Chain A
């Protein structure tokens, strides 16, 4: 009888011990899983936020840069891929000088046409560079929606920031660079650099 009583008490004790231990462990389990769930949900939230921040991509992006097709760029009213020494001579009546000199860098003769608003350099018939430092020459960039963005020296940089956000965001030394694609879609080494001062474009340089 006594043994049975002791046995009953032991069982009761063990049963209570079992219930308490199980509750404790389940609680710990929940706590640890909550941590895991939190880490999992953090990852998803981060992605969700990134998606939320995704804006409408206005122009073609490549990494930290923007790309624009050569077909969509005009300078001084001439399509970029049609600029030759002859087209410069026929379009700009205010030509100040024309010099041809040997360039050590290119190991070739370079001809430079200088106008009141900028200068054009060629190696033979191939465009080497254009530098625009006055509002007399406008760069026209055709956007993906078909509208034309007109930029010249003195233009405010707001629209450049809006439409070429990647390039604007990764500017170095107040310069934003847009790379050019050829007519056939090849990414070339040619680029247009917009040098900016106090929220306005100061000069525009095309380097082929």
Chain B
């Protein structure tokens, strides 16, 4: 009996040992995750402190207008691990809530999932996945997704866009991810190229079901089709543009081997020198690529627009007879309307002030509208006018008419906003040039994307 008891005790001890070992192994799995699993509470608590301390919640709050916000709240309790190549990611689901002075409503995401991604426990990224969403199993694995993943680094605001097809980055797009860089192509050199683009977010309020729908087009500005709300109890859904978000999109652009000249024993061009990428032309009707309004002071975001937009020293407003489009000096300029050159001034050195009334170098183009009216469009403060142009030359939207700059009175003041001043007159009467520009602008001067 006593022996049996000792044996039982020993068996229990063995069982305890095995359990202990298993539990240790489980801890090990948590620290080096390979599969989605819930994140350890200590790690999450620590990251939460970093998140709060860095004030990232502010960056996860989007103003839809003066009185309403969309708050993206991290659901720390539902966070889980995932992995992509050698990097470790913690996924924290983001739950949106619409708030204004009158109400606070939950939002139903129709085509997307949003996560706060924490890469290697150091980088905080807002990830927006738009594409196929498995409603029953929304916690996707990055290796299985099909759709677009926009990753916005909350610290430096850089954004990367990846288009996935069953977990692989689509090779035909210029948005190269780590995985596609590991392909067999010969790579000599590359560089990170960044430009600003906008995404559009639409909302729809469904009054009979007390719901708010939320849809984002990360690569353009198209409202959703009605299919997205077909399975909801809403009788009528009207989408409206809630806000646009500028993103600094960065792409790693890699250049293949330069061709080698066979005649001189393989000298060729300098190895590693990337070909100069040709400057992309703007859409017809836009004067430059990425048409945005130039601010006239640190606070006056509409100061570059036509009308009584300028603020005098005494606080009163003053008329501005054109539109100032933000343009770094030497940006290629294209006419917003086809026509004939009627005036050129091209004798002012880049940066030369002249006087407080000077347009600097300019080119003026006359267009006859289908109504018979004549429109004269003037482009001012240019560094130079394209040499081949002269009075009488015909120009169209795809012809580069000059380079923007800071000549005339734009050479001083307006420090942060180099721009091209565009003004139009119809039958010699000043009109708002915005009606002839392809890109439109919201009331706060934000461009509304109108891709060509």
Contacts and interface: CB of A to CB of B under 8 A. Distances in A.
Our verdict on whether A and B bind, yes or no, reads yes
Interface of A: 4, 7-8, 10-11, 14-15, 17-18, 21-22, 24-25, 28-29, 32-33, 35-37, 39-40, 42-44, 47, 62-65, 67, 70, 80-81, 103-107, 110, 112, 119, 121, 126-129, 131, 167, 170-173, 175-177, 179-180, 182-184, 186-191, 193, 195, 205, 207-208
Interface residues of B, number: 55
B10 A7 contact: yes
A177 B413 contact: yes
14 contacts: A25-B24, A28-B31, A37-B46, A39-B121, A43-B53, A105-B357, A105-B409, A119-B355, A172-B415, A187-B298, A187-B311, A189-B303, A191-B413, A205-B356
Contact of A121 (B46, B122, B356, B359): B356
Contacts of A63: 298
Nearest to B421: A105
Contacts of A127: 313
A176 B34 CA distance: 54
B312 A188 contact: yes
Contact of A186 (B49, B296, B311, B359): B311
Contact of B311 (A128, A171, A175, A188): A188
Nearest to A32: B31
Contacts of B359: 104-105
Contact of B415 (A62, A106, A177): A177
Contacts of B49: 40
Nearest to A194: B412
Contact of B313 (A36, A80, A193): A80
A81 B312 CA distance: 11
Contacts of B28: 25, 28
Interface stretch (B15-23, B231-239, B432-440): B15-23
B14 interface: yes
A130 to B, nearest CB: 9
Contacts of B122: 39, 42
A46 to B, nearest CB: 9
B51 to A, nearest CB: 10
A188 B17 contact: no
Nearest to B53: A43
A78 to B, nearest CB: 13
A43 B43 CA distance: 15
Contacts of B430: 107
B24 A81 contact: no
A128 B356 contact: yes
A30 B6 CA distance: 38
Nearest to B322: A105
Nearest to A121: B356
Contacts of A22: 20, 24
B7 A7 contact: yes
Contacts of B299: 62, 187
Contacts of B274: none
